[in-house]
Amino acid sequence: MIYAFKNYFKKRGSKMSKVHVMDHPLIVHKITKLRDKDTPVKEFRELVNEIALLMGYEATRDLKLVDKEVETPITKMIGKEIAKPIAVVPILRAGLGMVDAIMNIVPSAKVGHIGLYRDEVTHEPHEYYCKLPDRINERLVIVCDPMLATGGSAIQAVDFLKDKGCKNIKFMCIFASEVGIKLLYEKHPDVKIYAANYAPGPLNENGYIVPGLGDAGDRIYG
């Protein structure tokens, strides 16, 4: 399913941007279990991994391929391999819960880390750590964070990557608010957004998505 925010983007006079929202029945089912406040930590962590795995197939659907000659037990042939190296960059700490799923489908991907914490009063993100793979500017970078709420952390993470020369960036989250999507698009209209769930309503007074699931990092790590 693709949601297009027509009213917003038409006012800006730009080409309509699209956010990819997954509507696979398994994802919808697992998100309901994620929301449940009584879901224990172990199961919550497993659900995040399972949802990220299902999302990973969609987020990598448009990977470019190049020819590669291989020799089968019968004869030589021309197959295909991924053309561009990939990096997975979780936003610490909650984004770590999505990394293994992507690495399972793209084992050759390299992993970087961007550490951000949110000021509980201003809701603004602050950096405390950034370590990226070599040749990061040559890679397709998939940034992971379970929640795209205010958009501040996502924007700052993409800022870091673009400062390093990255030009091909995707953002993958489980929950995305309309506020977060709009702000991320305003700052980085070239970044594709993949979400498992879209929340059109306003954030609450603490900057959390409603109904959401609370603090993803706390629920992943107990």
Report strand pairing: 192-199 vs 125-131: unpaired
Distance CA 23, CA 29 (A): 10
- Which residue in 118, 139, 145, 150 is the catalytic one? 118
In the residue annotation, 215 being an active-site residue is answered as yes
In the residue annotation, 122 being an active-site residue is answered as yes
CA distances from 144 to 9, 69, 165, 195, 202 (A): 25, 33, 19, 10, 22
- Which residue in 36, 122, 135, 190 is the catalytic one? 122
SS3 216: helix
Distance CA 118, CA 23 (A): 30
Question: E strands, 40-159, where?
Answer: 65-71, 76-82, 86-92, 110-111, 113-118, 125-131, 140-144, 147-148
In the residue annotation, 60 being an active-site residue is answered as no
Q: What pairs with residue 170 in β-bridges?
A: 142, 192
SS3 154: helix
Report the catalytic residues: 118, 122, 215, 218
